[in-house]
Amino acid sequence: MHRTTTLLGLLAAPLLAHAQPAFGGRPYGLSAPKHGLPAPALVTLPAVDVAARQAEDALHAQQGRPGPARFGVVHPTAFDLQHHGSWHTVPDGTRVWQLSLHCPGAVAVGVTFTEFRIPEGVRVFVYDPQGPYRGGFTAASAPGMTSMGTLPLAGNTVVVEVQGPASVAGLTRLTIGEVVHAYRDPFGGAKGFGDSGACNINVICPDGDPWRDQIRSVALIMAGGGSCTGQLLNNCAEDGTPYFLTANHCVSGSTANWVFVFNWDSPTCTPTNNAPDNQTVAGSTLLVNDPGTDVALLELSAAPPDSFNVFYSGWDNSGAVPDSLVGIHHPRGDIKKISCELDPPVQATFGNPPAQCWQVQTWEHGTTEPGSSGSGIWDQNKRLVGQLFGGQADCSNSVNDYYGRFDLSWPLLEPHLGNCGPTLDGWDPNGTVPTTNDAAVTAIFDLPEQLCGLDSITPYVTLKNNGTAVLTAATLLVALDGGTPAQLPWSGTLQPGQTMNVPVGTIPVGNGTHTLTVASSMPNGLPDGNPANDASSKEFLVAFPAQDVTILLTLDAWGSETTWELTTDQGAVLDAGGPYANGVPGQEVDLTYCLGDGCYVLWIADVAGDGMCCAYGNGGAEVLDEDGALLGESDGTFTDLEEITFCITGTGIADREAAPAMRLWPNPADRWITVHCPWAERISVLDLTGRPVTDLAVRAGDVQHELDLGTLASGGYLVACAGGGLRRTLPLLVQR
């Protein structure tokens, strides 16, 4: 079954699946009927025996066999623009090439472009027919490379689209050399995070506090159908050359097609929360790989930009035995974790042929798992001394991990990293000196990116003490959409490097896109020594009043003939999807949309003109409201086009709650508002902390009341009516 949830309301939700460097635009195929595009040519890849693959993965993990954490099967292909897919010209004159790739039973699909030569003005997209997409990719997405990998998209079908001016589109040289059938979602979509064992420790937790710099050097590697870990290394010139260390056994295929994901870290210690995966670098050049110490050194196609705030780890090539060790890694491709060994390692060999390693006999905190391969270990001086080869460690038995020795790899690495002695400290291109009083808001959570039918939010923030003094007091500044911040006092005890989750109260929000910004200020009652790290922001989309509407499509055996569009009754396209795989009668497509009051049309097209029923299966469609009531349906017995019109009414909060009548207008407001509250004895306007900022006593018998907001700053407020033992509130947005 396909399943997707989309927030529409009065605005269509953004469907970009943020990932590697992209340069704007949108696939034409997501609104194909509007542009006169037919369904793309469909290629179905061979099925995968998932049970057999999962059994192999479990056996390899049990044996401690080195290798990337496999999440998918790579199908070798050779699809190019000259012999596959089809070209079309859309009404604006743009040339568009498309090819649909279907992997039966896949939870995600990825593509690798083994030839990627893109002229100026041309963009490449990879998209799910039901909405999310990656791109547009240009030559600048993988600078200096002639091939490029992409991160997978959730679902079993993707479409590759090339678009550009007619004068240059035909000069594009693009070959899809690999299609990845993911049987375990690598991240995002169906998985997101949390596949590793429960004993793993998020890097934001206290164990990570002394290692904040080294944590920033570590990245997840997505390589074909598997994942590993690696880290940026400093060099003697300290010039920011993006040297990247990982394990030799992770190297299979071309590293030019690898994707490196930085800063995929949970913003909270517990519970684990997801984080953006959009800080990526695509492509690298292999400089060194050797099985003797299982080492591989790469140079990334480009240095991570300043906005990634990465760190280049220092190292020790002396061979001195460390007193203790710390590992930082992405187990099973999960969000970044940290492990601690409080005892010295021992010298040992591991693998066949044997590699010279440091053996971690027991992890005191955390563990490693497949996917941790290539991750570094750092000694007590915060210098890297090796990278993970393999071992038997997991949450049930955190023993016997083996790391290729950096000192024995040094003769191969020295020509690239330079000769500046046995040790080199790390390098921070954005380095700052720790200050005494420095508080920071590192994350905003419990705030979904999309809210349906809700008119307020109750988020939390993570407050961190980045200073050298114990933090006992601070003020949080809470602002919505750039308005004047509300001040929220905080007091407690945070040691240097510690974090705490802090609620910021209930904040009223209106329909549309918003940005919440929360900043720390006045740590310990004094000016912040490093204001650059004070604030965190999060954008979210609200549809209110609104409700979830479900569309259920049941396909016949010829899914490739079926496409659909959801529009307003005025013809504005909200979403579109299809075609689907053939040979699966009864396949269901389950779609959920957040829609406000109004009328909508679901258009279902069948390119063969025989509908969805009944010679090749009993297809049809239903539209249901949030309570499961039928809003519209089709029995599938149409020819080439079916139209299902349905209307949504009564989504306002006053119609859905047993509460006394209250209305206010206009909202948003500039200065004056009218409040309809015939039962009220007092009307108050509250700021985001719940503090009254305007208070009005009401005369008995008055039905409507005028309030002057001229003294209020722009931002979010609550308007409260009270009387007769009742209290009712509505959100208000002041905009000037």
List active site positions. Answer: 249, 294, 373
Taking the C-alpha atoms of residue 295 and residue 300, their distance in angstroms, rounded to an integer, is 16
Question: What's the rounded Cα separation, in Å, for the pair 412 and 536?
Answer: 42
- Pinpoint the alpha helices (H) of 451-535: none
- Tokens 């593509």 sit at which residue? 111
Helices (H), 170-285: 212-217
Q: Which residue type sits at 545?
A: P
φ and ψ at 56, to 5 degrees?
Answer: -60, -45
Q: List b or e across 645-659, with b for residues whose CB sees 16 or more CB atoms inside 10 angstroms.
A: ebebeebbbeeeeee
- The CA distance from 286 to 264, in Å, is 24
List the one residue out of 576, 566, 448, 573 whose CA is nearest residue 509: 448
Task: Answer for the pair 716, 731: CB distance below 8 angstroms, yes or no.
Answer: yes
- How far apart CA 595 and CA 547 sit, in angstroms, is 6
- Determine contact, residues 474/522, Cβ cutoff 8 Å: yes
DSSP-assigned letter for residue 402 = E
Q: How far apart are CA 23 and CA 72, in angstroms?
A: 28
Distance CA 683, CA 325 (A): 62
State the chain's maximal CA–CA distance in angstroms: 91
For the chain, give percent helix, strand, coil, nearest 5.
10, 45, 45
Contact 537, 444 (CB under 8 A): yes
Of 69, 52, 55, the C-alpha closest to 249 is 69
CA distance 507 to 542: 13
Q: What are phi and psi of 253, to 5 degrees?
A: 75, -170
Token pair for residue 414?
């020295």
Cross-strand bridge partners of residue 686: 692, 718
Please say whether the beta carbons of 238 and 391 come within 8 A: no
